[in-house]
Amino acid sequence: MLHVELHRRDLRRTRADLVVFGLFKTAKWPAELKHLDKSLDGLLSRRAKAEGFEAEAGSSVNLASPVASGPARVLLLGLGEEKKAERDGLKVFAGAAVSRARDLKAASLILVPPAIKDGCSAGALYSLACGAGLGDYRFDKYLSKKKRHKELTVGLHWPEQPAMPAGASAALERARRVAEAVSHARDLVNEPANVLTPETLARHARDIARRHRLAVSVFDARRIAREGMLLYLAVGQGSTRNPPRFIHLTYKPKGRRKPGPETRRVFLIGKGMTFDSGGLSIKTADGMMDMKIDMSGAAAVLSAMEVIAALKPRFEVHAVVAAAENMPDGHAYRPGDIFRSKSGKTVEVLNTDAEGRLTLADAITWSRAHKATEIVELSTLTGACMVALGLHTAGLFSADDKLAENLAAAARAEGEDLWRLPLTSLLRKQIKSDFADLKNIGNRYGGAITAALFLQEFAEGIPYAHLDIAGPATSDEDRGHIKKGGRGFGVATLVSYLCPLG
């Protein structure tokens, strides 16, 4: 992980390889930039003018300094219209600056963030440091020729006035932990399905438990059957090579942090299909190409536990993953099969590609049986949600307004895009079956909603939120702190929801 520290010295006298200023379109140049420009004989402003630099998003001015005393290079990064700056603006800026520093082979970087409202808060510091850490993420373990990376030190420039906010060092520490956990989640998502199987995912969870002193248990297929999770078992039965593993991590507050009488037990459930071929209702070649990412929800909840264990909330937090591989095989479950869920409800499987909701239904019931007081579940559940909201936004479903609002607020603070969608009860008849209590698909319309309604049947009245992250689980391009591939979406939101920053 990158080392990020605060920088409070005069920018004209730094020896850094690179200083990056973030600038909004209409904003005046900050005093520090004017001073630096002056010390460079106005080279920066002349270059900016000559290149027609107007701080459009994505534009930049890059100047190698001819002066021996100051920074070796100065980069002005355009951030576009301030009003239009998205909530994740600071993370995008810091991530982009680190990427440019890497491209320019710098060993030391100083970031000068744009002046924004609340820009001098601990929260802003956190976002910048988090974005910087993630901007350095790469998944290159399978490249024979790696781009050699030296150490990069990052200084966050903080003006003389105002004074440092309270909790500045805690914010930096937290940013380092979150960026690290998000990177781990990205690694899990990017890992191919021949390497990341239910068993290796369970091994990873055991590793987290050992490093962070969490309790862990892993069930094999026989134990899953004994627990009555027959829907989940059915999904996994088509993979003879990679049988299912049910994973449970527990954080419990200790000592003085003993929970109060109104004990809160939060269960985080993540969809953990290490590969989704569709099963016998097999996907097309194009549809299957990315399906190693179908465990992004699991990656998020397991990685979030790393930070939870460090931040030590005063209530219990559990992570539950019903990991499996959805494959076609002589042993695979068939369209038309009927299974009894752990809850007792029977389900007719009409499409073996609607497998996520089957594994999650039993994981929800299992969590309820283990005294969950609230459940937050993340899953790459439906293509329909991607059609509805696009690739950057997750769908949020909850019958509990307070839970939904708190999750949405946490996501806003982290710049992760969530949009609440309705649990339209008129659509419930779509998942009624003629031969069982429920069926696992609806018709063509409202596919993200009918999936959510199916899951809601198993939550039975306890506060429950479902996040359909099929869109934002991955990115198809580099964008600041976001890199092509797994995004680690949800980790930051979960941490922020459970342990709000100051």
Which residues of 115-264 form beta strands (DSSP E)? Answer: 153-157, 215-219, 245-251
Tell me whether residue 242 or residue 380 sits nearer to ligand BES (CB atom): 380
Select from ligand BES, Zn ion, Mn ion, none the partner in contact with residue 469, using the beta carbon and a kind-dependent cut-off of 5 to 8 Å: none
Tell me whether residue 174 or residue 487 sits nearer to Zn ion (CB atom): 487
Report the C-alpha gap between 419 and 402 in whole angstroms.
15
- Omega into 162 within 30° of 0, i.e. cis? yes
Closest CA to 383 of 446, 325, 426: 446
Tell me whether residue 220 or residue 290 sits nearer to Mn ion (CB atom): 290
Tell me whether residue 88 or residue 294 sits nearer to ligand BES (CB atom): 294
Q: Is 276 in the site for Zn ion (CB under 5 A)?
A: yes
Candidates 17, 37, 180, 276; binder of Mn ion (CB under 5 A) is 276
Q: Could you tell me which residues come within 8 angstroms of residue 212 by beta carbon, excluding any fewer than 6 positions away?
A: 305, 306, 309, 310
Which residue in the shown chain puts its C-beta closest to Zn ion?
276
Contact call for residues 429 and 344 (beta carbons, < 8 A): no
256 is catalytic: no
357 is catalytic: yes
Select from Zn ion, Mn ion, ligand BES, none the partner in contact with residue 108, using the beta carbon and a kind-dependent cut-off of 5 to 8 Å: none
For 153, the 3-state DSSP assignment is: strand
Tell the smallest beta-carbon distance from residue 265 to ligand BES (Å): 28
DSSP codes, 385-405: HHHHH-SS-EEEEES-HHHHH
Contact call for residues 132 and 4 (beta carbons, < 8 A): yes
Tell the smallest beta-carbon distance from residue 166 to Zn ion (Å): 45
Tell the smallest beta-carbon distance from residue 354 to Zn ion (Å): 8
Tell the smallest beta-carbon distance from residue 355 to Zn ion (Å): 6
CA dihedral 336, 340, 344, 350 (to 10 degrees): -20
Tell the smallest beta-carbon distance from residue 91 to ligand BES (Å): 23
Q: Is 356 in the site for Zn ion (CB under 5 A)?
A: yes
Residues near ligand BES (CB under 6 A) = 276, 294, 351, 353-356, 380-384, 441, 447, 470
Tokens of 37: 């420009």
Select from ligand BES, Mn ion, Zn ion, none the partner in contact with residue 394, using the beta carbon and a kind-dependent cut-off of 5 to 8 Å: none
Task: State the burial class of residue 286 (Cβ atoms within 10 Å of its Cβ: 0-12, 13-18, 19+).
Answer: exposed
Give me the residues that bind Mn ion (CB under 5 A), please: 276, 353, 355
> What residues act catalytically?
283, 357
Residues in touch with Zn ion (CB under 5 A)? 273, 276, 294, 356
